[in-house]
C-alpha cells in the first residue's frame, strides 16, 4: 500500500519557491519563484537579489532614501530571475509559483515568455498601482492567477 500523506504538486512547488526565497539577502522581503511545465517538471527557480556579478556587499539594501541609495534601482525580482535563469528554450504554457504576487514589471516578462498561470502565496501589495497594473495586463491576455492557500502542514528541514 502506498503512503497517503505525501504532499501535492502545489505544496511541492510552493515549497521550492519558499526554499528559494531563503537565498535572498534582502533584510525586509524575501521572494522565491519556481517555474514548472505541464508535466510537473521544474524548469527554473529564482529569488530576489542583485544581478549576477554585482557584489551584494557593496550594493544598497535600504528601502528609503535617494533612488540610487536604495535596493529598488538594483534588485532583480524572483520571477525575472527565474525567467532569466532558464536556458532550455521556451517557457510557453508553463506556470510560475511565487511567494509574492508579481509586480507590473515581472508581469510583462511573464506575459512575454508565455507563462500561462501564476500561483502566488501572498498579495500584500494588492492595492498598489504595480499590482493593479499587473492584474490588468494578465487579465487582458488570459493568464490565470490564483492564490495558494496553505493547508497548515509544516515540514522541518535540517540543513
Q: Is 69 a known active-site residue? A: no
Within a 10 A sphere around the Cβ of 63, how many other Cβ atoms?
12
d(CA 100, CA 43): 19
The C-alpha cell of 39 is what? 508535466
Determine phi and psi for 99, rounding to 5 degrees. Answer: -80, -20
Burial of 154 (0-12, 13-18, 19+ CB in 10 A): exposed
Which of 22, 58, 79, 92 is flagged as catalytic? 79
What gap in Å lies between CA 64 and CA 143, rounded to an integer?
A: 33
Distances (CA, A) of 46 to 34, 102, 137: 7, 13, 22
- Retrieve residue 25's grid coordinates: 539577502
User: Which residues are part of the catalytic machinery?
Assistant: 79
Amino acid at each position: 500500500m502506498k503512503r497517503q500523506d505525501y504532499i501535492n504538486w502545489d505544496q511541492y512547488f510552493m515549497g521550492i519557491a519558499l526554499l528559494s526565497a531563503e537565498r535572498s539577502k534582502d533584510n525586509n522581503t524575501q521572494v522565491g519563484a519556481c517555474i514548472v511545465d505541464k508535466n510537473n517538471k521544474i524548469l527554473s527557480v529564482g529569488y530576489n537579489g542583485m544581478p549576477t556579478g554585482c557584489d551584494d556587499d557593496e550594493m544598497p539594501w535600504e528601502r528609503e532614501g535617494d533612488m540610487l541609495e536604495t535596493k529598488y534601482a538594483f534588485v532583480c525580482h524572483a520571477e525575472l530571475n527565474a525567467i532569466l535563469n532558464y536556458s532550455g528554450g521556451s517557457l510557453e504554457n508553463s506556470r510560475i509559483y511565487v511567494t509574492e504576487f508579481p509586480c507590473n514589471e515581472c508581469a510583462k516578462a511573464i506575459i512575454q515568455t508565455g507563462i500561462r498561470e501564476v500561483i502566488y502565496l501572498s498579495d500584500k501589495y494588492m492595492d498598489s498601482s504595480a499590482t493593479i497594473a499587473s492584474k490588468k495586463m494578465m487579465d487582458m491576455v488570459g493568464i490565470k492567477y490564483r492564490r495558494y492557500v496553505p493547508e497548515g502542514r509544516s515540514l522541518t528541514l535540517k540543513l
